[in-house]
Amino acid sequence: MIRLAQILGKNLWWMAATALLAFFSHGAGLALVAVAAYLIAKASTVQSSADLALAITGVRAFATFKVVIRYVERYVGHLATFRTLTRLRTWFFDRISRVPMPSFERATRGGLLESITTDVDILSSFPLRAAVPPAVAAMTVVAGAILLGWIDPVLAAPVAVGSGIASLGLAGISRWAIGPTSAELGRTRSEMSSATVEMLDGIEDLVAAGREDLLADRLDAFDTREANQTLKLSILRAISKSLVLVIASATAITAFAIAVPMVTASTLDPLLLAVIPLVCIAAFEAVEPLTAAAEELQASRVAMRNLDALTAVVEPAVPDLVRPPATPTAVAFHEVSFAHQGGPPLLDHLNLEIEGGSHVGITGANGSGKSTLVELLLGWHQPTRGEITIGSVDVAKAHPAEVAALVGVVLQPDHVFDSTVADNLLVANAEATTDSMMDALSSMDLRDTAETDLLTRPTGPDGSSLSGGERQRLMTARALLTEAPVLVLDETLAQLDQTTARKVMRTIRERRRGLTTIFISHEAEKLVGLDRMVDLGSVNGAGNAHEGSTPQSR
Amino acid sequence: MGPTGRIESIAGAQTRLRMGIAVDSIGFGIQIVWLLLLAAVVDSVFVDGDDLAAVIRPLTAMAVLPIATAGLAIGSQWLLASAGNMVTTDLRSSLAHDIAAKGPTEVERLRVGSLATNITITTRAIGDYVARFQPVRMIAVIGPTLVVLAVAFIDLWTVAIVTFASAMLVLLLALIGRRTRDLTDLRQAELTWLGAFYLDMLSGLPTLRAHGRQTDATAAISEVSRRHAATTMEVLKSAFQTSLVMEWASTAATALVAVQVSFRLIQGHTSYGNSLAVLLLTPLFFRPLRQLAAEYHVGQAAGSAASELTELLEPTGPAASDETPETESDPIRVKPAHTSAGTTTTTASAIAPIEFQGVSFSHGQELVLDRLSFTVEPGQTSMLVGPSGAGKSTVLALLMKFSEPANGRILTGTQNLADLDARTWRSRVAYVPQRPHLFMGTVGENIALAEPGASPEEIEAAIHSIGAESTLLSLPEGLHTEVGERGHRLSTGERQLVAMARAAMTSSELLVFDEFTAHLSPINEQRALIALERLCAGRTTLLVAHRMSTIAIADTQIEIPTLSPVVSGA
């Protein structure tokens, strides 16, 4: 939890303020009950209402104070929570965006969503729900004990002992029963979510195979588990709450039983007799929320661990970068070998030099390492040996963001954000103007239809409102907008028919004249008119990248 | 349908809910008795001067009663949580069946992220409504009534005070509550949207990093969170007003009762014991109301969640049980299998020609197909050709009944496809999409997707029939090889062959392929083409492809024209 405190920083002051306000509110409640009990006891022994003036004023003052403070406390508390929420969301996204790509890829999509929403939400309620209640309970119990001790020191004992037992009991139940159950429930829900996302992603295949029932079947197993754990948790919570109730009652009765002989022996003012059990009960009202607090604490721990595990190793913060000028920049792979951990070698002593400003086609069969080449060039994976340079920059030594600024890319697969066409283009170049965006789109043969403005056209989730070809061309237009010194187009043409592919090729070549551009495709016939062709497939594991033929047809 | 509209139809859930509430009410009654006992013992010591021995019996009873309350509380939680579980389970299963029946077009439209949230989390919100909100709401009526009944025997003035305070409370809450509800709906929509937004940002993180824009995205997240926080703060500000009123009513009533009884005590109009009793009972009157306020968000969330689920469940819900005649306006309608089985199986044995007659289809505002007509002859391999975006995939989606044509009809033999039950029709077709989805599990399980009972021998036979044994059977653990999430442990080529073997497992007379070689290298493509040729033999095949090598095996080509913008505006 120290970790969380570090992340929250100044937000901790808000937490402390909330705890103090909550204590005042509980304290006022306790005082109200004590004074009211004293008031009626006194009223039954005096003749004139003038004798009650002080007590009546006390009752009114504490009542008003309690209401006002309570409202302020809730407002401040929730403000603290939301500041925490924003802080944590930003913190987590910043971290996850700097997690090295291999680890990022290992994390699954459904699980990720679960982490960022659920875990971050849990953590953001930590101040109000987990940290504040124990502080308030401690202060209130101490205040109650002081009040009773002031009446007679012996009377403070039951509250002290009772609250001690209650705290230990609650801590035990939450540590050994509620905590593990709630963690299991969290896991079940996360797995259920992942499995549901997986099934829904494959719905086309399921429906085509007539196996719609599989979704319900998979869900059913998780549902049974979730239901059992939810039931168990509800019962454990009831046990925990009942424990506090039983101990509170026992404390009140014990304190009362101690006080009665004192009254009989006249060592205690009888007017205070009713005050004693009532203060005990009022003090325990602050102990009751501890059940939920202990659970929140456990959940926060788990959430923090999850988020930390997900973002254990991160790259340094993204430095401020100046957009590199679009000048001819050479790219070189020198003796590069690469294999995934424990996997077969994907690249073996690869030597490839791409002249600055040249247009090069790289072809090769699946598994020949074309996409690996791109990921190595972007610095997402480190080669097991050899070095890669872009101009004078050594990829291994540069920050990935620095490399990203040098290399514009269409990934395979690339992501279309669920927004507008314009927003997707702006991802590549935040400063792009409407004209330059329209220019890039029309160069890809994408134009406004009669009734829709192309730039404001919604793309749908992951580009679902676009056809396969439109999507590819939008991605290519986006890459063209980067005006990066080096542009890599991975399988940009795969979805396009021969005629469109050639047209697109020609436009790209014109726009990228004098700038290094690498076309990657498994279809050599689509790569026409380039300065040089490299067949990666024939050299996998062999040594050097072989020169292929250069089709010059236009 | 309200959040609990379904509960009546679930056997046992309603009973458990009622029993749980009844048990809770008994527990509440015991608390009243406990406080009355406390007032009595204090009275006998303070007024009558009794010693400890005289009050030891009621004190013992007071020590035992909370244990009984505890037992009742645990029992009621068991009953209520089970009721909540029953409702959640029922909703999940209905949703899963419904969404699956609606098919890919609807799933895409409604978004995988939100649907998954609806199935897993929203259903639980409604379960919580039953298990938590519903009982608290009932106790908020029963509890105060019990307190008023007890107080009525002791002191009518106090009854007047708490009645007045609670009337004010109800009035004020009604004024504040409506605003809160509107804001809560807004917040729920915001939450769902945020879920989809995060998923989108996270899925796009590689792209953002490739463009060096992750820092800006972090800023965007911060901005969106802040806006979300502002919305939520608005809701809570009203919720605080609710709790302010609650706090005020409870505290003011306690103070009023204390002052009132003390004045009447001086005048000798009431006894000390009675005064203490009503003073103790007054806060208990308000406690269930405060709990209701604390759980109010559960009720609100469930209300919003329920309307969301109702939208999801409604279109096919009633339609599935009604056997009303087909209406063309309902594109996602699913008829019960038994009504159509008789009409469709009669022609299943013969391979009928597939005929598109003037078929039009629009994607939102945009016209994708305009009066398209063509025929696929039985036993032949036909290929759809046309420029990118001409609607080739749409033709296949219509043929698979993932969508229904806006105009025109699709015939199989003499039967209109619109009249056929989707499931029955699809069982006669083998479909290989552009990017086949492999599910977590083994290679064997994935191949046998459409024939879950298939033996290993049958699966191997299917693999042999497409000539993929050298690839698929030589995997490290053969058919038992785990494919991993989305099949990532297999190569693209291997995944494609698994999808082909899936098609080979079925006895479908119609094969439909969507650009299945688009992502393959020449070697893998060669393997896939061999598999394709073997598969096509003796079956009607419709495929989309633009690779020359694929064109070679097609008997006929069907041209899909591009629509000019002028046409789409018409």
Give residue B191's pLDDT.
64
Give residue B469's pLDDT.
83
- pLDDT at residue A533 tops 80: yes
Residue A112 is nearest to which of B202, B216, B518, comparing CB atoms?
B202
Interchain pair A235, B450: CB under 8 A: no
The predicted model gives A228-241 an average pLDDT of 95
The residue of A62, A193, A449 whose CB has the most chain B CBs within 10 angstroms, and thus the best one to mutate to test that interface, is A449
How far apart CA B260 and CA B323 sit, in angstroms, is 68
CA dihedral A381, A384, A386, A390 (to 10 degrees): 0
Report whether B409 contacts B398 (CB < 8 A): no
**Dihedral sign, Cα of residue B158, residue B163, residue B168, residue B170:** positive
Set of chain A residues whose Cβ sits within 8 Å of the Cβ of B546: 497-498
Interchain pair B387, A499: CB under 8 A: yes
User: Per the structure block, which two tokens stand in for B528?
Assistant: 């896939």
Using pLDDT thresholds of 50, 70 and 90, give the confidence band for residue B145: very high
Give, for B510, the enclosing helix (H) or strand (E). strand B510-514
Residue A209 is nearest to which of B49, B124, B450, comparing CB atoms?
B450
Taking CA–CA distances from B451, the nearest residue in chain A reads A209
Annotate B49-76 with DSSP letters as a single string: ---HHHHHHHHHHHHHHHHHHHHHHHHH
B369: helix, strand or coil = strand
Interchain pair A46, B266: CB under 8 A: yes
Annotate B92-127 with DSSP letters as a single string: HHHHHHHHHHH-HHHHHHH-HHHHHHIIIIIHHHHH
Give residue B80's pLDDT.
96
Percent over 90 (pLDDT), chain B: 26
Helix, strand, coil share (%) of chain B residues, nearest 5: 65, 10, 25
CA nearest neighbour of A38 among A260, A281, A278: A278
Interchain pair B45, A498: CB under 8 A: no
Report whether B302 contacts B143 (CB < 8 A): no
Give residue A113's pLDDT.
58
How far apart CA A192 and CA A219 sit, in angstroms, is 7
**Is A63 within 8 Å of chain B by CB?**
yes
Taking CA–CA distances from A451, the nearest residue in chain B reads B569
Residues in chain B: 570
**Is A463 within 8 Å of chain B by CB?**
no
CB atoms within 10 A of CB A445: 18
**Dihedral sign, Cα of residue A290, residue A295, residue A298, residue A300:** negative
- pLDDT at residue A404 tops 90: no
- The DSSP symbol for A415 reads P
B408: helix, strand or coil = strand
CA nearest neighbour of B492 among A469, A489, A367: A367
**Is A491 within 8 Å of chain B by CB?**
yes
Q: Which residue has the tokens 């599910």?
A: B439
User: Per the structure block, which two tokens stand in for B530?
Assistant: 């061999």
Give residue A263's pLDDT.
94
**Is A266 within 8 Å of chain B by CB?**
no
**Is A470 within 8 Å of chain B by CB?**
yes
- pLDDT at residue A265 tops 70: yes
Set of chain B residues whose Cβ sits within 8 Å of the Cβ of A37: 276, 279
Domain extents in chain B = 7-319, 337-569
CA nearest neighbour of B498 among B433, B436, B434: B436
Interchain pair A219, B244: CB under 8 A: no
Percent over 70 (pLDDT), chain A: 92
Min mean pLDDT across A322-336, B16-30, B195-209, B490-504 is at B195-209
Dump pLDDT digits (tens) for A202-224: 888 888 888 888 888 989 999 99
Percent over 90 (pLDDT), chain A: 33
Give residue B314's pLDDT.
61
Domains and CATH numbers, chain A: 2-310 (1.20.1560.10), 331-547 (3.40.50.300)
Specify the pairing of strand B415-416 against strand A385-390.
unpaired
The predicted model gives B389-402 an average pLDDT of 84
**Is A109 within 8 Å of chain B by CB?**
yes
CA nearest neighbour of A80 among B298, B301, B236: B236
A59: helix, strand or coil = helix
Dump pLDDT digits (tens) for B296-354: 777 777 777 777 787 777 654 333 333 333 333 333 333 333 333 333 333 344 467 88
**Is A200 within 8 Å of chain B by CB?**
yes
- CATH architecture for residues B337-569: 3-Layer(aba) Sandwich (3.40)
Phi and psi at A382, nearest 5°, equal: -100, 135
User: Per the structure block, which two tokens stand in for B18?
Assistant: 């009622």
B213: helix, strand or coil = coil
Phi and psi at B445, nearest 5°, equal: -60, -40
Using pLDDT thresholds of 50, 70 and 90, give the confidence band for residue A115: low
How far apart CA B512 and CA B493 sit, in angstroms, is 19
How far apart CA A17 and CA A131 sit, in angstroms, is 12
User: Per the structure block, which two tokens stand in for A123?
Assistant: 């953590």
- pLDDT at residue A323 tops 70: yes
> Residue B20's Cα: distance from chain center in Å?
26
What is the b/e burial string over A255-294, where b = at least 16 CB atoms within 10 angstroms of the residue's CB? bbbbbbebbbeeebebbbbbbbbbbbbbbbbbbbbbbbbb
Per CATH, which fold does B7-319 belong to?
ABC transporter transmembrane region fold (1.20.1560)
Q: How far is A256 from chain B (nearest CA, A)?
A: 9
Q: How far is CA B489 from CA A32, A119, A366, B349, in A?
A: 68, 29, 14, 39
Residue B38 is nearest to which of A46, A234, A277, comparing CB atoms?
A277
Q: How far is B305 from chain A (nearest CA, A)?
A: 17
Q: How far is A308 from chain B (nearest CA, A)?
A: 17
Using pLDDT thresholds of 50, 70 and 90, give the confidence band for residue A547: very low
How far apart CA B75 and CA A234 sit, in angstroms, is 10
Between chain A and chain B, the number of residue pairs with CB atoms below 8 A apart is 444
Give residue B285's pLDDT.
94
**Is A238 within 8 Å of chain B by CB?**
yes
**Is A399 within 8 Å of chain B by CB?**
no
Q: How far is B389 from chain A (nearest CA, A)?
A: 6
Set of chain B residues whose Cβ sits within 8 Å of the Cβ of A256: 38, 41-42, 59
How far apart CA B200 and CA B221 sit, in angstroms, is 11
Residue type, A484: A
Task: Say whether the peptide bond before residue A413 is cis (omega within 30 degrees of 0).
Answer: yes
Give, for B281, the enclosing helix (H) or strand (E). helix B272-313
Interchain pair B431, A108: CB under 8 A: no
Report whether B551 contacts B384 (CB < 8 A): no
Which residues between 316 and 355 in chain A have a beta carbon less than 8 angstroms from any beta carbon of chain B? 318, 321
Using pLDDT thresholds of 50, 70 and 90, give the confidence band for residue A12: confident
Q: How far is A212 from chain B (nearest CA, A)?
A: 5
Give residue B236's pLDDT.
67
How far apart CA B429 and CA B62 sit, in angstroms, is 74
- pLDDT at residue B521 tops 60: yes
Dump pLDDT digits (tens) for A423-466: 889 888 888 888 888 888 888 877 766 556 788 888 887 787 88
**Is A493 within 8 Å of chain B by CB?**
no
CB atoms within 10 A of CB B315: 17
Dump pLDDT digits (tens) for B57-102: 999 999 999 999 999 999 999 999 999 999 999 999 989 988 888 8
Interchain pair B49, A499: CB under 8 A: no
Rounded to 5 degrees, what angle do the CA atoms A104, A105, A109 make? 90
Q: Could you give the strand order of the β-sheet that contains A532-535, starting from the edge strand earlier in sequence?
A: A407-410, A486-490, A516-521, A359-363, A532-535, A546-547
The predicted model gives B478-498 an average pLDDT of 81
Report whether B59 contacts A254 (CB < 8 A): no
How far apart CA A43 and CA B266 sit, in angstroms, is 6
Residue B82 is nearest to which of A231, A452, A464, comparing CB atoms?
A231
The predicted model gives B205-231 an average pLDDT of 80
Residue A460 CB contacts under 8 Å (≥ 6 apart), including other chains: A418, A466, B108
| Residue of higher predicted confidence among B364 and A163 | A163
Residue A205 is nearest to which of B47, B119, B436, comparing CB atoms?
B436
Residue B210 is nearest to which of A98, A411, A462, comparing CB atoms?
A411
Give residue A543's pLDDT.
39
User: Per the structure block, which two tokens stand in for B541?
Assistant: 């095949």
